[in-house]
Amino acid sequence: MNLIFRNHALKRMFERDIDIEDVRHVIQTGKIIADYPEDQPYPSSLLLGWKENQPLHVIYAKNELDEIIIITAYYPDPLIWNNDFTRKKP
């Protein structure tokens, strides 16, 4: 699996104490909870995975070479997300 990390993703991951292996784990085991087909230059998806017992969201896109481009990663805020971290609260 060829992962490409955008500079924004690496900066945010560093600030949020998320490492490359955490993101790789979410890409391999996570569940797609949202698709963004209109994103440019490539459609993207939001994945929900877990780092130990903590939910972790990763937004990624695939290009025409089937490379996985990591756009960002973050720990979802329980004040904003529902109990299973799959949807934002109304």
pLDDT digits (tens, 9 = 90+) for 32-53: 999 999 999 999 999 999 998 9
Instruction: Judge whether 36 lies within some domain.
Output: yes
- Per-residue pLDDT of 48-81, as tens digits, reads 999 989 999 999 999 999 999 999 999 999 999 9
Helices (H) then strands (E): counts for the chain: 2, 5
Q: Is the pLDDT of residue 1 over 80?
A: no
Domain extent for 21? 3-74
* Band (20; pLDDT cuts 50, 70, 90): very high
List residues bridging with 34 in a β-sheet. 46
Q: Does residue 55 sit within a domain?
A: yes
Give the predicted TM-score (pTM) of the model.
0.94
* Residue 56 falls inside a structural domain: yes
- For residues 90, 57, 85 and 53, what is the CA-based torsion angle, rounded to 10 degrees? -150
Asked if residue 79 is part of any domain, the answer here is no
* pLDDT, position 18: 97
Number of domains observed in the structure of the chain: 1
